[in-house]
A and B are shown apart, each in its own frame.
Chain A
Amino acid sequence: MINYTYTVWIVLIPLFMFVILGLFGMKMRNSLAGILGSLGLFTSTVLSYITAYFYFFKVGPVDGVFQSVSAYNIEWLAFTDTLKVHLGVFLDPISVMMLVVITTVSLMCHIYSIGYMKGDTGFQRFFSFLSLFTFSMLFLVIATDIIQMYIGFELVGLSSYLLIGHYYEKPAAVAAANKAFIVTRFADFGFFVGILLVSFYTGTFDFTVLINGDGSIFAGMAAASFMGMNIITWAMLLIFIGGAGKSALFPLHIWLPDAMEGPTPVSALIHAATMVVAGVYLVARMFIVFHFQAPDALEVVAYVGAFTSLFAAIIAITQYDIKRILAFSTLSQIGYMILALGVSGYGGEEGVGYMASMFHLTTHAMFKALLFLGAGSIIHAIHSNDLRDMGGLRKYMPITFITFAIAVLSISGIPPFSGFWSKDEILAAAFEHNKIIYFSSVLVAGLTAFYMSRLFFTVFFGKKTEYHHTPHESPWVMTIPLIILSIGAAFAGFIPFNELVTSDGAVFESHLSMSIALPSIGIALLGIFFAFLLYYKKSNTPDKITTSLGFLYKTTLNKFYFDELYLFVTKKIIFNIISQSIAWFDRHVVDGSMNGIAWVIEKTSVKSKELQSGQLQQYAFIFVAGTIILVLCFAYLFN
């Protein structure tokens, strides 16, 4: 048996880096801060790989099943004798896999940022927040306890907020940061209520108890019902809302495109590879509960995933901002992962969706991070995000061109690149489960190939744009991460996930089914072909098509007006109607009545003060009159 206690350092090192860089960063030279941050993370990465090696290969499955290990555990808060919050390290196939993915991508982004952020005034701040983010994300995935997961959710939200708002002097960046935080906070509210429900009925927060496969603790929840749905379904849906917020699933997706205001390495790390898959991870973590206790909720998960992937893919076609296209593509791919979880069964061959989702999470992290970093490299070279300012860049930036090409082929699902393998498993799972979801997924595969190729052809081929100064390839600190990630994007597909990460921890046989693979390759090639026709050479065909579609095109370009809807709800309803009226009510009615009481008392005192006029004659008159009245009264009474 291996002692995994050291794994706690994987998490703590980034935290220390955050504290050191946060407190003393301003006194350091830029390069020192960058190197320090990267070195810290390198240590974490090495430890993660060691852990993965130990976990998957050295120890391996016991009786064909990977055992979950509670590597480290401290009691943090004890609400009651049983309801306790623990913090610690919980290792099972998905958390170990996530450790590897997060540290790898994060390390690449750290190294890349040394080049990309060079000369930025907030360089040290940036690195300290990157460390904070890495800490939070690792903290989230190793959660032993649902509250630890929630804490992780909040902390990644914070670091995302801080990093999106890196250029805090830009109002757009601040607005985007606020939006991201508030939308995910709203989702976390759902998550928290879900936690409250689960903890109330089961009396525990502990994952080892919640997901050990023993459904009896949920009996009380299944028995109780609220508004015609049993409590466990409610709870799991609420928890899923938490995940949906972080993973930017429809209709909580609105923050992700705006979050692209952050520096590009942040987009690559947080908003493509790691944080946005927190929701997927959450559903995967609680999958056994979803599957056995709340199949209805899982059905919802599947449909939300499928719809998001389609919805986002459609929007991605029309966008011009290179990072936004990638953002919508991220939305779409996360939809894939979620739908794969939604359609998955449990155990062995049945659990192929679960395996596929995790598989796709890994490959997506590689190729999407690569795409973002490539886009960053392009933006770095020409100082613009707009697709219309780009063209013919393949000559100037050969390394970026090649790595980007690999990523595009990978995301489009062209064998033998990694995306193909994971996407194929997802389609297979969807095919088994639900034909509607399957067809929509296939359509999304085609759309994905189309919009990615559109991006690719426009940027690297197409018209020759005149640039202010000749674009040049990025420095080696930026290209080396690109190369490493492109290796990942190309070959991650050959990792035998069916032998490592499965729904029940048991190994199963997986085989490529030609009837699934061929149509998906076909539609992907079709997508690429159309994009080639339209965008390889500069032509006005795309413009013709857009004008002919008119209204439809405009709606898609404006992202189906979801931002406007949200603006209406927040600005008009919450701000102007609710909040303003409460403020008015408070000032005028509540406070007014308090002031009113004071006013009444004051007036009464002024009036009664007049009785005491200080005029002796008045007193005498009252005295005399009173006497006379009294005399008359007595005369009348005693007569």
Chain B
Amino acid sequence: MNILSLLILIPIITVFGIAFSRSKNMVRIVALVGMSAQLLTAIVLMFSYYATRDAGVTAQMIFYQDIEWFKFLNIHYTVGVDGISVAMILLTGVVTFAGILASWEVEYLQKEFFISLILLATGVFGFFISLDLFLMFLFYEIAVIPMYFLIGIWGTGPKEYSAMKLTLMLMGGSALMTVGLLGLYFNSKGADGQLTFNILEIAKVNIPKSTQMFFFPFIFVGFGVLGALYPFHTWSPDGHASAPTAVSMLHAGVLMKLGGYGCFRVAMYLLPEAANALSWIFIILATISVVYGAFGVIWQKDLKYINAYASVSHVGLITFALMMMNKVTLDGAIIQMISHGLTTALFFALIGMIYGRTHTRMLDKMGGLMKVMPFLAVGFMIAGFSTLGLPGLSGFVAETTVFIGAFQHFDIFHRIATILVVSSIVIAAVYVLRMVGKLLFGPIVDEHHSKLKDAKWFEKISVGTLVIAIAGIGIAPFWLYNLISYSLTPIMSRLNEFSNLYTHIF
């Protein structure tokens, strides 16, 4: 059996396992076991990927499997991974595992909660392994739909509003995307004269420039909505603020990365000419995202809003890096996806845990938590420092790579955009330290907070996993580089074919 299909099968089995579980305890243990198995599979996948590459396999996608599914429209069940997908699958595995632990104490409709959560994860895993546009789109929808219920039912605050807003905006994005994907499909007539959804096949077709220019914005913006591209980012603060902990983690950590990954894998890879021609628009939007998001954070008072806006800023950096389109920035974009995924998941996990104790997320109602819950506080500081790009944690590696890559462009437009984006590291320091200072340091603001307990075992494992992953990337980034670098070559060569920018790389 193909290891990739296993990635879809395990969650489905887990869902059935949960459905037939009888006690509350059993539900969460089944979920945990299932997701641990999933994480393990992801790790095995990484090592077997390395092993396959070391054995000299040079195919672009490995563990490739192609089964005809729907003959009339030539839809296939096509799966396969390159290093980038492997990295994203690893990220998803880690975040899902931590997410299950972070929602250990969900009481209300617990079974349904875990089922929805794991369905969401299934969609994400499926998205990253599929190479057929139709299949990819299917998994995308599988990932988005449970979000509505997860926020609408288990959320806090104005949850119906947020759930509706999030779902509608994402659906709007996927409507645009559908147009784009169909556009790709109907222009995919290759040498054998058959229309196809297969990404690798479409990549061989030279779609005329005018067609590319027409469909590129559809796909890019469609995925960009999920990637919180300015000005389509407003679902993110509301959605994250209302979502329960694990959902925020998965959503900000992984689901938003579907956007970046889709932009990269579909929009840029299949429509390289349009990507080159239109990159300037999206560079401007991404630069706005980064700086605007960062400034937007400073004024926020709700912890989740803070992190949501910070996410807008950091996800903007992904789009920025993608659109700079050279090898270094693409490296950086992928690393930033992973880094941001882990960091923000850690942040949301901790915010959830703190909220579970203090029952407030307002900065001005809390203070001095360092003394009360040192473990959580230290975790929070690590997440903060990774956000502001401190060396030794993953944020630094990602940001440095992006900045150095982006600066390789010779012209003044790219330079100024880069410098503006670099300035966000200062603003990040301002908002992170302000938050950390108010929340963790200083005197205890609320009497009741002084009796709160520190993290429990499952919270410690959850936080610990993420911290280890973040520090692992920060201290030894080369393994991640090795994983993704090789896989970027075909995409880079396709982009460079049409590059009309003077890209100056040593």
Contact: B299 with A193, CB < 8 Å? no
Measured CA separation A185–B425 after assembly (Å): 8
Q: A199 and B404: CB pair below 8 A?
A: yes
- Are A169 and B296 neighbours in the complex by a CB distance under 8 Å? no
Residues of B close to A178: CB separation below 8 A: 433-434, 437
Cβ contact of A598, chosen from B168, B407, B481, cutoff 8 A: B168
B214 at the interface (CB under 8 A from A): no
- Is the C-beta of A54 less than 8 angstroms from some C-beta in chain B? no
- Of the listed residues B292, B392, B422, B429, the one surrounded by the most CB atoms of chain A closer than 10 A to its CB is B429
Question: Are A594 and B169 in contact (CB-based, < 8 A)?
Answer: yes
How far does the alpha carbon of A590 sit from the alpha carbon of B306 in the complex, in Å? 17
Q: What is the size, in residues, of chain A's interface with B at 8 Å between Cβ atoms? A: 54
Count residues on chain B whose CB falls below 8 Å from chain A CBs: 57
A171 to B368, CA, bound (A): 10
Q: Is the CB of B327 closer than 8 A to any CB of chain A?
A: yes
- Which of A181, A188, A196, A586 interacts with B404 by CB under 8 Å? A196
Choose the segment among A74-82, A317-325, A416-424, A475-483 that binds chain B (4+ C-beta atoms closer than 8 Å). Answer: A74-82
Contacts of B408 in A (CB 8 A): 200
Bound-complex Cα distance A340 to B232 (A):
54
A residues near B37, Cβ cutoff 8 Å: none
Residue from A82, A182, A189 in contact with B422 in the complex, judged by beta carbons closer than 8 Å: A189
Q: Which residues of A contact B232 (CB under 8 A)?
A: 594
Please tell me if the beta carbons of B506 and A185 are within 8 angstroms of each other in the complex: no
Residues of B within 8 A of A177 (CB): 433, 437
Chain A facing B: main interface SS: helix
Residue-wise, chain A 149-189 has the 8 Å CB interface mask toward B (1 for contact) of: 01100110010010001001111011101100110011011
Closest chain B residue to A154, Cβ basis:
B391
B419 at interface by CB-CB < 8 Å: yes
Contact A80 B385 (CB under 8 A): no
Residue pair B506, A82 in contact (C-beta under 8 Å)? yes
Q: Is the CB of A171 within 8 A of B442?
A: yes
Q: Looking at the assembled complex, report how far the CB atom of A463 sits from the nearest CB atom of chain B, in whole angstroms.
A: 36
A7-36 Cβ-contact flags toward B at 8 Å (1 or 0): 000000000000000000000000000000
Report whether B368 and A169 are in contact in the complex, using a CB–CB cutoff of 8 Å: yes
As a 0/1 sequence over residues 415 to 445 of chain B, the CB contacts with chain A under 8 angstroms (1 = contact) are 0001100110110011001100100111100
- In angstroms, Cα B433 to Cα A197, docked, is 28
Q: Is A633 an interface residue (CB 8 A)?
A: no
B488 to chain A, nearest CB (A): 12
Residues B384-423 near A (CB distance < 8 A): 385, 388, 390-392, 396-397, 400-401, 403-405, 407-408, 418-419, 422-423
> Would you call A622 an interface residue if the criterion is a C-beta within 8 Å of the partner chain's C-beta atoms?
no
Q: Are A590 and B231 in contact (CB under 8 A)?
A: yes
Whether A182 pairs with B477 at a CB distance below 8 angstroms is no
Q: Which A63-104 residues have C-beta < 8 A from chain B?
A: 75-83
Could you say which of A79, A185, A199 contacts B331, with CB atoms under 8 Å apart? A79
Contact indicator B296/A582 (Cβ below 8 Å): yes
How far, in Å, is A507 (CB) from chain B's closest CB?
37
> How distant is the Cα of A185 from the Cα of B422 in the complex, in angstroms?
12
* A186 with B300: CB separation less than 8 A: no
In the bound complex, how far is the Cα of B433 from the Cα of A77, in angstroms? 28
Given A80-B506, A178-B437, A586-B234, A200 and B407 touching (CB < 8 A)? yes
B121 located at the interface, meaning its Cβ lies under 8 Å from any Cβ of chain A in the complex: no
B-contact 0/1 string along A228-272, CB 8 Å cutoff: 000000000000000000000000000000000000000000000
Q: Which residue of B lies closest to A204 (CB)?
A: B506
Is A574's beta carbon under 8 Å from chain B?
yes
Most buried by B among A165, A580, A582, A590: A582
Q: A79 to B440: give the CA distance in the assembly, Å.
A: 37
- Residues on B with beta carbons closer than 8 Å to the beta carbon of A188: 425
* A165-B425 in contact (CB<8A): no
Is B328 a contact of A79 with CB atoms below 8 Å? yes
Given A77-B478, A154-B396, A590-B234; A169-B442 close (CB under 8 Å): yes
B298 within 8 A of partner (CB): yes
CB distance from A153 to the nearest CB of B (A): 9
Cα A575 to Cα B301 with chains together (Å)? 13
User: Are A203 and B429 in touch, CB under 8 angstroms?
Assistant: no
> Would A182 and B429 count as touching, CB distance under 8 A?
yes
A147 contacts chain B at the CB level, 8 A cutoff: yes
* B370 contacts partner chain A, Cβ-Cβ < 8 Å: yes
B434 near A80 with CB under 8 A, answer no
Contact of A171 with B443 in the complex, beta carbons under 8 Å: yes
CA distance A182 to B397 in the complex (A): 20
Residues of chain B contacted by A197 (CB below 8 angstroms): 407
Within 326-350 of B, Cβ neighbours of A (below 8 Å) are at 327-328, 331
Residues of A within 8 A of B506 (CB): 80-83, 203
Q: Does A552 contact B (CB under 8 A)?
A: no
In the bound complex, residues from chain B placing their C-beta under 8 Å from that of A182 are: 426, 429-430, 433
- Chain B residue, CB-CB nearest to A22: B378
Residue A451 is within 8 A (CB to CB) of chain B in the complex: no
Pick the contact of A83: B296, B404, B440 (CB < 8 A). B404
Does residue A545 face the partner (Cβ distance < 8 Å to B)?
A: no
B404 adjacent to A79 (CB under 8 Å)? yes
| Cβ of A631 under 8 Å from chain B | no
Q: Chain B residues near A78 (CB, 8 Å)?
A: 478, 481
Which residues in B have their C-beta under 8 angstroms from that of A590?
Answer: 230-231, 233-234
Question: Which one of B234, B388, B423, B434 has the highest number of Cβ atoms from chain A below 10 Å of its Cβ?
Answer: B234
Q: Does A59 contact B (CB under 8 A)?
A: no
A583 at interface by CB-CB < 8 Å: yes
Q: In the complex, are the beta carbons of B434 and A169 less than 8 A apart?
A: no
CB atoms of A582 and B295 under 8 A apart: yes
Which A-B residue pairs are the 5 nearest by beta carbons?
A: A583-B299, A579-B298, A591-B234, A151-B391, A168-B441
A-B contacts, 12 listed (Cβ < 8 Å): A80-B505, A83-B404, A151-B391, A154-B396, A155-B392, A158-B390, A168-B370, A169-B371, A199-B407, A574-B298, A590-B234, A595-B165
Q: A80-B327, A151-B392 are in contact. List 13 more A-B contacts (CB 8 A).
A: A78-B478, A83-B328, A154-B391, A155-B392, A168-B442, A171-B443, A185-B388, A185-B426, A192-B422, A574-B295, A574-B430, A583-B296, A591-B238
Chain B residues close to A by CB (< 8 Å):
165, 168-169, 230-235, 238, 292, 295-296, 298-300, 327-328, 331, 368, 370-371, 385, 388, 390-392, 396-397, 400-401, 403-405, 407-408, 418-419, 422-423, 425-426, 429-430, 433-434, 437, 440-443, 477-478, 481, 504-506
